[in-house]
Every structure is written in structure tokens, then in C-alpha cells.
Amino acid sequence: MRRLLIGAMGAALLGGQASAATIQFTATDDGTVKTFGGDSVDTTSDTISVVQSGVNIVNGVLEFDLGAIGPGATVNAASLSLALARPVSNAIGATAEVDIFAYGGDGAVTIADFGAAGTQVFDGSIPTGGSQLDIFNFNLTQLLPLQAQLGGLLTLRLETDSFASLAFLSMEQGFGAAFSPILTIDFTPAPTNPVPIPGALPLFAAGLASLGFARSKQRKPKA
């Protein structure tokens, strides 16, 4: 009884301790954008193209709604999962660069996403070749941009360089949900609000008084 009461008073003073959780987000919109040779936006294709070959530069864009995670949470880790639509190619190397930028979203892929200011959250490469449906997980290394968009909308833009060409399956593909773009976020929810100390002190004092009263009754000799 005493341990239970002390535990309850501790919880009242400190508040609930949150534990980590994981949520997988599917894209709410995705597509490709380019500005060379005329502005072009494609959000209906079953592929997301990412190309750099001289003057032909195509960026892939994905929109996510992070409303399921409250803004007070802490992002511990995040990764973007994409499935190949065709083998990766690069005219001058055995790997293809993948750069991912993050910024606040507006729910739709538009031409403004081609060069919108963002923070780079992934800088790496994948090997050329591969086969359709091969899945790559890009572990995002900079988490503050995601942290800033919790409870709201997030945009991720994919770029490449060095004459590489990549194509990933979009949310419109017909191979099933497992091959759609998926953003996985491991997070710790915001802790529950603790009882303010001035209000908790009377509770603590009352608990101690009741403990003392209970102990005195137990020790009172029988008549």
C-alpha cells in the first residue's frame, strides 16, 4: 500500500513518461518537376523520375501529411523507402548520387517545388543497375526539418547529378502498397503535463499524513 501511494505521488509530481513509437506515412501526392525546356509537372505517372543529363534536370517530389504526430514530439530517426521502376543508370560512374531535401509542404506537387529552399536530409548514392521492385531505404540524417513539420505537411525533393537517371515507383503504381513511397518516422511523443509543483505539494503532504495515520493504527496495542 505504501509503495503504491508513493508511486502515485511520484507520477503526479513528474507526469507520464512517453515511450518511443513508429509510424509509416504514405505519400499524399508525388510526381516529377522540371523547368528546362519549359515548365513541366507530372503527378499522374506510375514513376517518379530523377534525372541529370546536361540541360535535362528532373527532380522527384513527394508530399506527406505528418498530422498523426503532434508537434511536441521528438523525432528519433526517419527513413524514406522507394522501389525501383527500372535499373539505375549513370553515364560516367558505377553509382548514382541521391540528394534529398526537406521543407514545409502545401499538399500538392507544383512547379515551385523544383527549386524551393530546403534543408538537405540525405546525401549519398546507390549502385547502378538493379531490377524493378528493388527497394532502397534512405536513412535521413538531418531530422530538424522533419521535427519542424510535425503536425503539418512535409515535402521531400529528390535530386541527382553526374549524368545519372533514376526512376522510382510512385503512389500510382499497380504493384501494391509495399512498393509505394513510404516515410517511416520513429518518435517519442510529448510527455503528459505534470502536476504543477505548488499544487502537488499538498497532495504529497496529505499522502505522508495518511501513511503516518495508518502506521499508528497498526501499532496501537489492543485493550
Is 0.75 topped by the overall pTM?
A: yes
Whether 204 maps to a domain, the answer reads no
- How many domains does the chain fold into? 1
How high is the pLDDT of residue 36?
A: 86
On whether residue 96 sits in a domain, the answer given is yes
Split at pLDDT 50, 70, 90, the class of 55 is: confident
Q: Which three cell numbers stand for residue 101?
A: 531535401
How many residues in the chain? 223
Q: Which CATH number belongs to the domain containing residue 133 in this structure?
A: 2.60.120
Tens digits of residue pLDDT in 130-178: 999 999 999 999 999 999 999 999 999 999 998 999 999 999 999 999 9
pLDDT tens, 167-216? 999 999 999 999 999 999 999 999 876 555 555 545 545 554 554 544 44
Give yes or no for residue 223 having a pLDDT over 50.
no
Backbone angles phi, psi at 211, to 5 degrees: -65, -45
Burial-class residue 188 by CB neighbours within 10 Å (0-12, 13-18, 19+): middle
Residue 11 belongs to some domain of the structure: no
Cell reading at 11:
507520477
Residue 11 in this model has a pLDDT that exceeds 50: no
The answer to whether residue 141 sits within a structural domain is yes
How far CA 172 is from CA of 46, 95, 180, in Å, comes to 5, 27, 8
Nearest to 35, CA basis, from 55, 6, 10:
55
Give the C-alpha separation, 77 to 11, whole Å: 28
In a domain, 123, yes or no: yes
The C-alpha atoms of residue 161 and residue 173 are separated, in whole angstroms, by 25
Structural domain for 119, as ranges: 26-188
**Would you say residue 15 lies in a domain?**
no
Residue 17 lies in a domain: no
Query: What percent of the chain lies above the pLDDT cut of 70?
Result: 78
Would you say residue 75 lies in a domain? yes
